[in-house]
């Protein structure tokens, strides 16, 4: 099926021409969708009625339906569970920051990476999302919540670099002037450390921010909580991250999960400093989410503070993630898993 949300201006022009329509109608259609937030052919009144009738048949406009919605108490986090055209569901989260709204997107239905602390893979990997399905997550927020968008992060369900071609095409598409015109520097791609794909991404030359899921200071602990560590060693991931920094000029962020008695210990803090001190990187420390029972527990506040202070005082740039949505199951896969349990 043709998907208009996967089409840039030339692709849409070609499609319209193949249907006997004028190419200039592509500009009108894209303006309706991306500038006026109109997602119904009947409301695009500049188009001739005959064109609208044909387009409804040949190029359906499908913005995913909201099957579940959660809003944090402070109103700064909104999570949607969206139903795709084949009935599969994906999660996407809007986070309101001082600098603007950021949307966390999914790149796959389910996930094959199967990190121990993440709910995304608990129901298995289903399939990759298409370019249009990733775009439609953004359009769903524009339709149901707000049209204001500052940035996107590909940190939702799935490993983006295992859906490489679609993810790259998606980023290029929303960068185009006729669509969302979102700057590459306002995009962040997160990866568990798929080294060959990291190198391929570096060669694209796009100034997109890269966030690497480090989550442990050594291979032994990393293998315990991230099965992908059995394929890609820490030293190889760090080397690939260095190559990416040199290629893009964008500082790499290392995501680091804080798990009581596993990754948030004095010894882990010492090893992390030894691993990263002196590098032009940022560590984003994330206390594990206790809302999903994975047998891994959030450290005490003092443990978190001591870990953070030690790493910072020893020359590593580190931030403690501002928690948004912890009360509404905003972490990856939680809302989808909850809905599946309720339907069983």
pLDDT tens readout for residues 106-150: 999 999 999 999 888 777 899 999 999 999 999 999 999 998 999
* Candidates 91, 159, 178, 255; catalytic one: 91
pLDDT tens readout for residues 57-83: 999 999 999 999 999 999 999 999 999
Looking at the fold, whether 246 and 108 belong to one and the same domain comes out as yes
Looking at the fold, whether 120 and 245 belong to one and the same domain comes out as yes
Q: Using 50, 70 and 90 to split pLDDT, how confident is the model at 344?
A: very low
Reported as type and span, the H/E element at residue 96 is strand 89-97
* Candidates 111, 255, 332, 342; catalytic one: 332
Looking at the fold, whether 14 and 80 belong to one and the same domain comes out as no
pTM of the model: 0.92
Q: Is 134 helix (H, G, I), strand (E, B) or coil?
A: helix
C-alpha span between 181 and 204 (Å, rounded): 19
pLDDT tens readout for residues 245-282: 999 999 999 999 999 999 999 999 999 999 999 999 99
Exposed e or buried b per residue across 90-118, where buried means at least 16 C-beta atoms within 10 angstroms of its C-beta = bbbbbbbeeeebbbbbbbbbbbebbbbbb
Looking at the fold, whether 34 and 141 belong to one and the same domain comes out as no
Is 91 marked active-site? Answer: yes
Q: Which residue has the tokens 């100034």?
A: 207
Looking at the fold, whether 47 and 158 belong to one and the same domain comes out as no
Torsion of CA 197, 207, 212, 166, to 10 degrees: -50
Is 323 marked active-site? Answer: no
| Boundary (domain end) residue, out of 58, 80, 101 | 58
Looking at the fold, whether 311 and 211 belong to one and the same domain comes out as yes
Here the CATH number for the domain that contains residue 268 is 3.20.20.70
Looking at the fold, whether 75 and 47 belong to one and the same domain comes out as no
Count of domains for the chain: 2
**From the centroid of its chain, how far is CA 265?**
29
Q: Which domain holds residue 26?
A: 4-58
Looking at the fold, whether 80 and 16 belong to one and the same domain comes out as no
Count of beta carbons in the 10 Å neighbourhood of residue 226: 24
Residue 260 DSSP symbol? B
| Boundary (domain end) residue, out of 17, 43, 58 | 58
């Amino acid at each position: 099926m043709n998907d208009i949300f996967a089409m840039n201006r030339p692709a849409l022009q070609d499609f319209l021409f193949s249907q006997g329509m004028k190419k200039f109608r592509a500009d009108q259609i894209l303006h309706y969708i991306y500038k006026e937030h109109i997602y119904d052919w009947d409301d695009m009144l500049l188009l001739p009625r005959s064109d609208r009738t044909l387009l409804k048949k040949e190029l359906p406009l499908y913005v995913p339906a909201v099957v579940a919605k959660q809003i944090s108490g402070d109103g700064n986090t909104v999570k949607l569970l969206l139903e795709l055209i084949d009935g599969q569901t994906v999660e996407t989260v809007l986070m309101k920051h001082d600098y603007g709204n950021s949307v966390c997107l999914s790149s796959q239905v389910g996930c094959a990476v199967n990190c121990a602390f993440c709910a995304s893979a608990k129901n298995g990997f289903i399939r990759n999302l298409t370019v249009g399905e990733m775009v439609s997550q953004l359009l769903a927020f524009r339709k149901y919540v707000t049209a204001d968008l500052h940035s996107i992060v590909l940190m939702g369900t799935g490993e983006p670099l295992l859906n490489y071609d679609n993810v790259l095409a998606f980023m290029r598409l929303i960068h185009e002037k006729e669509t969302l015109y979102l700057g590459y520097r306002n995009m962040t791609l997160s990866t568990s450390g798929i080294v060959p794909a990291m190198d391929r991404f570096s060669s694209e030359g796009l100034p997109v921010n890269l966030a690497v899921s480090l989550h442990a200071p050594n291979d032994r602990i990393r293998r315990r909580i991230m099965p992908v560590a059995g394929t890609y060693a820490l030293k190889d991931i760090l080397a690939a991250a260095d190559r990416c920094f040199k290629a893009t000029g964008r500082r790499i962020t290392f995501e680091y999960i804080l798990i009581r008695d596993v990754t948030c210990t004095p010894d882990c803090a010492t090893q992390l400093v030894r691993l990263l001190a002196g590098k032009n990187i940022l560590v984003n420390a994330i206390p594990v989410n206790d809302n999903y029972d994975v047998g891994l527990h959030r450290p005490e506040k003092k443990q978190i503070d001591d870990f953070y202070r030690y790493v910072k005082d020893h020359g590593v740039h580190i931030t403690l993630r501002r928690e948004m949505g912890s009360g509404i199951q905003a972490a990856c896969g939680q809302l989808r898993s909850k809905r599946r349990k309720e339907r069983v």
